[in-house]
Amino acid sequence: MSVMSKPITNSVLEGNRLALARLLTQVENHSPEGRAALAELFPHTGKAHLIGVTGAPGTGKSSLVNQLALHYRKTENKKVAIIAVDPSSPFTGGAVLGDRVRMRDLSGDDGVFIRSMASRGSVGGIAQTTAAFAQIFDAAGYEIVIIETVGAGQSEVDIARLAHTTIVVEAPGLGDDIQAIKAGILEIADVLVINKADRPGVEHTERALCSTLALAHPIPRVYRHHGQTMTVMVPAGAKNLPALEPDSSATRSDMVIWIPPINKTVATEGKGIADVAESIAKHAEHLHVTGDWASRDRARLRSELEAALEAALMSRFFANIQNEKYNDVVEQVVGRTLSPHEAVRKLLNGSSKQENV
Amino acid sequence: MSEHKIRVLVAKPGLDGHDRGAKVVARALRDAGMEVIYTGLRQTPEMIAEAALQEDVDVVGLSILSGAHMALAPRIVELLKANGQDKVKVFIGGIVPDEDMPRLKEMGITGIYGPGASTEDIVKDILEAMK
């Protein structure tokens, strides 16, 4: 592509949608122009609220994203970008990206930009360049960037590293109580949403999630039991926090630790969406008050730096090593005369196996 | 390092509600390694052009069974051009009478496929048009 990076970044900053769309493609394809433009846009980033939406396939993530975006447009007049990730075929590399089907309410609005992305071999629930997409939208002035992951099962948790606020969407009738105490996706939730809350079994899902939260966040609580006041103390080793009275005006967001609120929605009908938006706003406030916003930002940029460093070191290493030497070491590993760890030492030091043992 | 995937928008403009054909084609293009963005039913030309822009697609595939192709297709081609996407190739699948085909081609439609068309041909023609 002959487009110079200078004009394209200018156009993106001025709000040109075609330039924005083309830049996203260049970055997704790892073109040098895309990389140069990303570097130029970087000083303009750091303003947007990145909201991740994840959950099992069919829980209604796209419908919820559609409604949340509508909410931000109508009640807060904020510009909203949506990055919707769907899986690539592991065999052909092709993909069918169908999240737009649920987002037709958003078309015709210049304050919304929806971009579908194929995961292109990444297994963490988002694509390799999803973070870069979020940066571009941030620089282009989108105040809210919603990132919808692929239908995530249990361990696709990369979104938590990228987003400021992670929403985990559940629906009634998926799995039993034991699913709720496993490690993984529930642990990354800042806000829990039980969608399809008009379906039977919603109480059961809510109870399972509540008890999971109680296990994860042991705080002393005061209960009224048969007319008596009982204080349930924190298990040994947990942080010492003031007890939360059932009738006290202290809300969960007043506390130092964040306990994910559980919101019930019927996304296709727009029910409960304002509550979710309120939970998101409270979480953002909590992040600012506690300084977690800055530390999440720092952790994310640091891991981005490290990933870039790793890639650069790898390509430098391969530029400086002769093919025969490398293949020779691979053969030794395949022949079981050298372990992979010994091979690394040999390649990096240029010294022989005997010297290192 | 740089790798370009062919991105295709598969869209159903107009009011007919039959999208089996569109889904079969979407699946075939996926199996050919393309990234297919599917928009769903009952899209206006404006919605389709907007999605094509946001998704920066190389190809727009329209599924039209209602007979409204002479109204819908030129409008979509026009909107794509107005948005600066004049390099995007437009294909039509559905029910198109033979006598309409030359005029559609004149308007800038790259390929037209009726009942019985093979998905292999569609894939081949898209790859050819992308060269």
The CATH code of domain A45-217+257-297 reads 3.40.50.300
Share of chain B above pLDDT 70, in %: 98
Q: Provide the chain B residues 94-113 that lie in CB contact (below 8 A) with chain A.
A: none
Interface contact B38-A100, CB threshold 8 A: yes
- Confidence (pLDDT) at A1: 43
Indicate the residue of A17, A97, A101 with minimum beta-carbon distance to B36.
Answer: A97
Taking the domains of chain B in order of start, what are their residue ranges?
7-129
Q: Which long-range contacts (CB under 8 A, 24 or more apart) does A301-307 make?
A: A303/A161, A304/A131
Flag whether residue B4 sits within 8 Å of chain A, measured between CB atoms: yes
Share of chain B above pLDDT 90, in %: 85
Flag whether residue B50 sits within 8 Å of chain A, measured between CB atoms: yes
Residue A349 DSSP class: H
Indicate the residue of B32, B50, B85 with minimum beta-carbon distance to A92.
Answer: B32
- Confidence (pLDDT) at A115: 97
- Confidence (pLDDT) at A2: 43
Indicate the residue of A24, A92, A100 with minimum beta-carbon distance to B31.
Answer: A92
Q: What phi and psi, each to the nearest 5 degrees, are found at residue A138?
A: -60, -50
- Confidence (pLDDT) at A237: 42
Segments in chain A below pLDDT 50:
1-5, 235-254, 351-357
- Confidence (pLDDT) at A220: 58
Looking at chain A, the number of H-run helices and the number of E-run strands are 13, 10
Interface contact A94-B36, CB threshold 8 A: yes
Quote the minimal CA–CA distance from B31 to chain A in Å.
6
Find chain B residues with C-beta within 8 A of A21's C-beta.
53-56
- Confidence (pLDDT) at A224: 65
Taking the domains of chain A in order of start, what are their residue ranges?
1-44, 45-217+257-297, 219-249, 321-356
- Confidence (pLDDT) at A173: 80
Quote the minimal CA–CA distance from A107 to chain B in Å.
6
- At B1, the pLDDT band (50, 70, 90 cuts) reads very low
Whether the CA torsion A15, A79, A61, A38 is positive or negative: it is positive
Interface contact A96-B56, CB threshold 8 A: no
- Confidence (pLDDT) at B126: 96
- Whole-angstrom CA distances from A329 to A313, A353, B16, B93 are 19, 11, 62, 54
- Which tens digit of pLDDT belongs to each residue from A168-198? 999 988 765 556 556 577 888 999 999 999 9
Three-class secondary structure of residue A124 per DSSP: coil
Cβ-based neighbour number of residue B94 at 10 Å: 22
* Tokens standing for residue A17: 């949608």
- Confidence (pLDDT) at A221: 58
Q: Judging by beta carbons within 10 Å of its beta carbon (0-12, 13-18, 19+), is residue A83 exposed, middle or buried? A: buried
- Confidence (pLDDT) at A251: 46
- Confidence (pLDDT) at A242: 45
List strand residue ranges (DSSP E) for chain B, in order. Answer: 7-11, 35-38, 59-64, 89-94, 109-113
Q: Mean pLDDT across the stretch B2-9? A: 86
Residue A33 corresponds to which amino acid?
A: E
- Rounded-to-integer distance, Cα A333 and Cα A344, Å: 10
CATH architecture for residues B7-129: 3-Layer(aba) Sandwich (3.40)
Interface contact B54-A21, CB threshold 8 A: yes
Interface contact B56-A22, CB threshold 8 A: yes
